[in-house]
Amino acid sequence: MRQGFKIAAVISALALVPVMAIAQQLTFYHTVTGEPLPMDKAPEEGRDTPAVKHFLQTGENPYNEVKNCLKKGEEVYLVACSGCHGHVGEGKIGPGLNDNYWTYPKGNTDKGLFETIFGGAKSMMGPHWDLQLDETLKLMAWIRHFYHGPIEDAVWLTDSQKADFVQFDPKNPQDAPEPEGECEIPAQ
């Protein structure tokens, strides 16, 4: 009898492991409606990278200011965002993205910016479920890179990133630096 109880307890504990792993993932909410975002709508490819895993658990984008990843973020931005937000986030029919004013204040955090991009917002911006999650994080890193507001307002940067941050000049924009090696996130 005791042996059966022990086996049942072990099986029950093992059954909880996937639930605990899921519980560690943050919940992401639509910027306008507040409803949970359907993360399963994202393409399968690009869901299982170290950067995505880190982001889904912490809400922090590990690609921010990783120079070798910026070129891909710029490419995604130019295709998916620049038509409305301008080539360097200066704003067109959509709001500017390169200063410290956020139409949706939660855009000040990586989690909030992701929720707005992935889930969509008001007016013309529909959801970007078409982008791979890893592409979305690189896109967000590019948006953060062309920021030219006060550095103290850049809450998405670590203290060491703030110390090394070179302010983007929208009057003299430069493309993303050419990668020197692979796009890899720093050890966490």
Q: What is the DSSP string of 41-103?
A: GS-STTSSSHHHHHHHHHS--TTTT-HHHHHHHHHHHHHHTHHHH-TTS--SSSPP-SSS--S
The per-residue pLDDT for range 61-75, each reduced to its tens digit, is: 999 999 999 999 999
Does residue 11 form part of some domain? no
Looking up residue 160, the CATH number of its domain turns out to be 1.10.760.10
Local confidence band at 107 (pLDDT 50, 70, 90 cut-offs): very high
In a domain, 152, yes or no: yes
Q: Is residue 177 part of a domain?
A: no
pLDDT at 173 over 90: no
Token code pair at residue 125: 């911006």
Would 37 be classed as within a structural domain? yes
For the entire predicted model, the pTM comes to 0.84
Q: Write the pLDDT tens digit of every residue in 112-132.
A: 999 999 999 987 788 999 999
- Please check whether residue 169 lies inside any domain of the structure: no
Give a yes or no: residue 48 inside a domain. yes
Which tokens is 31 given?
Answer: 């910027």
- Domain holding 147, by residue range, is 25-164
- Using only C-alpha atoms, what is the Rg of the chain? 19
Residue 88 amino acid letter: V
Number of domains within the chain: 1
Residue 44 lies in a domain: yes
172 belongs to a structural domain: no
